[in-house]
Amino acid sequence: MNRKLVFISFLSTFLVLCLSITVFAATAGYSLRVNGADIKGEAKVIDGVTYVPLRTVIEGLGGSYHVMPESNTISILRRDISMYGGFDESNPLLYGSKAYFEINENFDKFIGSVIIEETSTGKDALKVLQDKKEPAPNGYTYVLVKVNLEILASEKPGATLSINNYRFLYIDPVTQKRTPSFMFSQYSPSVAEGKSFNGWVGFMIPEDHQSGMIVLSSPNDRQNALWMKLQ
């Protein structure tokens, strides 16, 4: 009988020891390395599942991570392809296609989409303008671009993004000169979640212009922009 008690006691001690070792092994921390570089943070493997601090890893990859509690959304964007859809001067967004973008402005973050639905130049542009703009001066013409821009999520509920004159810029393909747009109303429209902008953006450019591109960006960030090729 005593032998049996000793055996049970030994078995219990052994099981507790094994469990302790298992738990320790399961929750042991691992250092993190992204693209060959060590980053702050620790990963753990628990019950065969690897857990990593997602924000640390995303930012280590050069991306952005935003928690938007009001819309129960976590937005993860790779800056190289998602900040402005990966569309740059050498790979512009084609007419009629949609791109997704992220704009950080005035301490607010906006995730949205944009598409060029229509373009109009010359006499056709004047029909669109009607009496909202005088005829262009000699040597100049109007280029109008119909844009559909939506805000899909914003970090602060109710935050608005202004469609001001410098939100869209026309870029001359030869001189690379940037021409700001003009609006069709006295006040610049704004967009927010559930309130999109679907309207015309106008440019007055030299009459002998070649087909150029327009860019969408933040007025405070001229280096990063979404490039769009006109038809």
Which tens digit of pLDDT belongs to each residue from 157-169?
788 999 888 889 9
Which tens digit of pLDDT belongs to each residue from 22-72?
333 445 678 888 777 888 888 888 888 888 888 888 777 777 776 766 556
Alpha carbons 27 and 20: distance in angstroms, whole number = 11
Q: What percent of the chain has pLDDT over 70?
A: 73
pLDDT for 3? 47
Q: pLDDT confidence of 18, banded at 50, 70, 90?
A: very low
Which tens digit of pLDDT belongs to each residue from 66-97?
676 655 677 776 655 555 667 888 888 888 88
Which tens digit of pLDDT belongs to each residue from 161-210?
998 888 899 988 888 888 898 877 667 889 998 889 998 888 888 887 77
SS3 letters across the chain: CHHHHHHHHHHHHHHHHHHHHHHHHHCCEEEEEECCEEEEEEEEEECCEEECCHHHHHHHCCCEEEEEHHHCEEEEECHHHHCCCCCECCECECCCCEEEEEEEECCEEEEEEEEEEEEEEHHHHHHHHCCCCCCCCCCEEEEEEEEEEEEEEECCCCCCEECCCCCEEEECCCCCCEEECECCCCCCCEEEECECEEEEEEEEEECCCCCCEEEEEECCEEEEEEEEECC
pTM over 0.85: no
pLDDT for 88? 81
